[in-house]
Structure 1
């Protein structure tokens, strides 16, 4: 259902909006983890490393698409908060046009650049073949990813955080089934895991669209809603591009770091991949509260309630810090058993490296959680330049760390690069 975030207790609104979104994000992360678990357990460490070596490339392109659609949806949230339904529908129409154009360009460029980038990242010879197969399928399915993200962001902009959750649950179950069928029955290897992800996202997007068209009359578009208005389109680009570039700038830092990590060989890559999946699962609340605050801030800005934006920031900061402490405790106490989901028990060196990563991350999680809140609030009120510049400083920090720390303290230097970059963002 549609949910206005412009009146009522901010804490209750933030939590009630966030819970379905959090469950959806966890399910999305779980089906990503299932890919990794099945690949690591049934195919082996090298296959796990091959999938993990594509993480930076995937983040670079998919992150750009996600940031773009999130930025477009800020306009929709502002129009909804101002009760301008004609403006809302026009925003959705423009977002669709811009998303289709972006999908075509991104798909073509990413497929052309995948192999050269994998080589540039020092991807080991024993895994580069599988890495390219996996990431090319993910890139070919760009339309499915963009489609789902766009519909989900629009629904969240009008306060409906539950519908994307329901269809993500369906997609998650489908992804697990397809993983098992493609990898264990048809022996498709890493390609099977990639196809399972793409097909599942496509199904989630299609279901979201059908539901939105039938459920919400305010989203029923007509021909006039697709009328291209260059000034209005530019407003979308002004919010979407900085958010997209922020993801991409961060991803470039990840790529640089991945290049340094790849020099340590398959075991370290596999350890980093497994530990990263555990980290991503436990940092879902931070990302969820960030998305919530972007829409909360957007709606309240549209309604002229800056006072509620400030109050919401204070309340959400307290909530997210509680989640950060809880996640840190879990990482410190249960890091190894969680890592064992991805790697066979006889890989002692892999476990030790993974625990090193998780220990470092656990110490600095509160910083990351606060970043999500403040960065997304700025984006929600249309001030996306500062978050973008924070991403630039993160890129600089990651790059410096990638070329210096590993030579001094080895794999631990790789683990410290992220937290140091978070501090640079927080400072700026």
Structure 2
């Protein structure tokens, strides 16, 4: 269902749009959660550590692609809000082709350099083999991750957040069935988990592509649309590149943190892997509100409706506070039970480390909620440099503090956990100052003077 976000009640519009994104991302997380549960329960602790160590590298390069797709979607949203369908179709052609070629080249490069990357992040020798097998399959099938994300980004940019959800649900179900089949029945180990994920992504991406271009007439490309427009290409390149840098910096920071975690051994790696899954699911709602807000801001900027953007900010702030308070309480109380989902009760040390991590992080979810709001606002307004700066500030602070604090014997790995909320609060304070500047300089000036 296509949604024009320049009309209707801002709160209702953003929430309705964000909800399918939330459910969809929960199923996206289900890919990795099922992988971790199956590996941890049916293969073993070392295998779980190998998938966890691989996960950060996989995320980093996946988010390079996802960031490019997100950047292009801002341009889609702007032209959709402006009702300029000719430029929208040309943007689709240029972005699909250029990002697709980049993905193929990146995939080939990664497949031939897996071991060097794993060694670079201090992957222990006993889990290196499984990590290498897992990543080889994931990187070889990166084209399907691209295809799904570019199609999803397009559909969401025009207000359809439900269709990507349906294909994600299908992919998650396929992934669950194949995980169990390949690991338990055929005893394929970590290889089976990776192959299951690749097949699930392939099916969902192809179906999403077919749906988009057969069911929505105004995005269907003609010969006139498949031309190189220099001005559109420059806009797409700018937005795709800067958003990709932002997303990859976020995950690069996590790769650096993973490298620090890896120095503490397999128990800490396994605990960080399991707790990290729980953590990432917990703040998905506010992450999706931020992403939905980005589309909302971009469409309304295209329509030159600055008053509506200000109303949207107030709505998102209230939603973030409510959701984060509920989530913080829920995760803090149930941390131990949640860890037991991923690892056997006999792994007492792994569970204790994971509970310690969640008990610290969960208290501060409202901080990451506001940070996602700032990311979405500045992306939607076209201030990608500001959004990028906040990301660098947050992740840079986290990596620096994680390394510094964890080297103090009295603090140890707890320093890694505490570096997270400290990084969030630093970026939030700066983000608030920059938002006030934008509010004064752009949101309060005559609308007809604004340009894309």
- Name 1:319's counterpart in structure 2: 319
- Name 1:230's counterpart in structure 2: 230
What SS does the aligned partner of 2:225 have? helix
User: How far apart are 1:418 and its partner, in Å?
Assistant: 2.1
User: How far apart are 1:237 and its partner, in Å?
Assistant: 1.3
- Name 1:241's counterpart in structure 2: 241
Native 8 Å contact 1:20 1:165 kept in 2: yes
User: How far apart are 1:231 and its partner, in Å?
Assistant: 2.5
Q: How many residues align?
A: 428
Native 8 Å contact 2:402 2:417 kept in 1: no
User: How far apart are 1:343 and its partner, in Å?
Assistant: 0.1
- Name 1:135's counterpart in structure 2: 135
Query: C-alpha distance in 2, partners of 1:84/1:348?
Result: 59
User: How far apart are 1:417 and its partner, in Å?
Assistant: 2.3
| Correspondence list, 1:210-359, <5 A | 210-359=210-359
User: How far apart are 1:224 and its partner, in Å?
Assistant: 2.4
User: How far apart are 1:49 and its partner, in Å?
Assistant: 0.4
What SS does the aligned partner of 2:317 have? helix
Native 8 Å contact 2:329 2:363 kept in 1: no
Query: C-alpha distance in 1, partners of 2:297/2:4?
Result: 11
Larger mean Cα displacement after TM superposition, 160-169 or 402-411: 402-411
User: How far apart are 1:223 and its partner, in Å?
Assistant: 2.2
Query: C-alpha distance in 2, partners of 1:182/1:141?
Result: 18
TM-score (norm 1): 0.98
- Name 2:426's counterpart in structure 1: 424
Gaps of at least 5 residues in structure 1 are: none
User: How far apart are 1:382 and its partner, in Å?
Assistant: 1.1
User: How far apart are 1:269 and its partner, in Å?
Assistant: 0.3
User: How far apart are 1:413 and its partner, in Å?
Assistant: 1.1
Does residue 191 of the first structure (1) align with residue 191 of the second (2)?
Answer: yes
Larger mean Cα displacement after TM superposition, 120-129 or 220-229: 220-229
User: How far apart are 1:34 and its partner, in Å?
Assistant: 0.7
Larger mean Cα displacement after TM superposition, 363-372 or 99-108: 99-108
User: How far apart are 1:112 and its partner, in Å?
Assistant: 3.2
Native 8 Å contact 1:147 1:205 kept in 2: yes
Native 8 Å contact 2:90 2:229 kept in 1: no
What SS does the aligned partner of 2:122 have? coil
Output the aligned Cα RMSD.
1.2
Native 8 Å contact 1:253 1:394 kept in 2: no
User: How far apart are 1:390 and its partner, in Å?
Assistant: 1.6
Larger mean Cα displacement after TM superposition, 168-177 or 200-209: 200-209
Does residue 32 of the first structure (1) align with residue 32 of the second (2)?
Answer: yes
Query: C-alpha distance in 2, partners of 1:190/1:313?
Result: 44
Native 8 Å contact 1:67 1:243 kept in 2: yes
Query: C-alpha distance in 2, partners of 1:11/1:411?
Result: 41
User: How far apart are 1:407 and its partner, in Å?
Assistant: 1.6
Query: C-alpha distance in 2, partners of 1:24/1:72?
Result: 20
Query: C-alpha distance in 1, partners of 2:53/2:298?
Result: 36
- Name 2:403's counterpart in structure 1: 403
User: How far apart are 1:315 and its partner, in Å?
Assistant: 0.3
- Name 1:208's counterpart in structure 2: 208
Q: Deviations over 1:89-124 (max 9, x none)?
A: 111111111111221222123223321121111111
Gaps of at least 5 residues in structure 2 are: 431-452
TM-score (norm 2): 0.92
- Name 1:46's counterpart in structure 2: 46
Native 8 Å contact 1:324 1:366 kept in 2: yes
Query: C-alpha distance in 1, partners of 2:78/2:250?
Result: 27
Larger mean Cα displacement after TM superposition, 224-233 or 35-44: 224-233
Query: C-alpha distance in 2, partners of 1:129/1:394?
Result: 33
What SS does the aligned partner of 2:112 have? helix
- Name 2:173's counterpart in structure 1: 173
Native 8 Å contact 2:51 2:131 kept in 1: yes
Query: C-alpha distance in 2, partners of 1:141/1:169?
Result: 19
- Name 2:417's counterpart in structure 1: 415
User: How far apart are 1:256 and its partner, in Å?
Assistant: 1.7
User: How far apart are 1:210 and its partner, in Å?
Assistant: 1.5
Does residue 380 of the first structure (1) align with residue 380 of the second (2)?
Answer: yes
Query: C-alpha distance in 2, partners of 1:245/1:113?
Result: 21
- Name 2:92's counterpart in structure 1: 92
Native 8 Å contact 1:256 1:402 kept in 2: no
Query: C-alpha distance in 1, partners of 2:30/2:317?
Result: 26
Q: Deviations over 1:176-232 (max 9, x none)?
A: 011011111121111111111121112111111121122110111112222122321
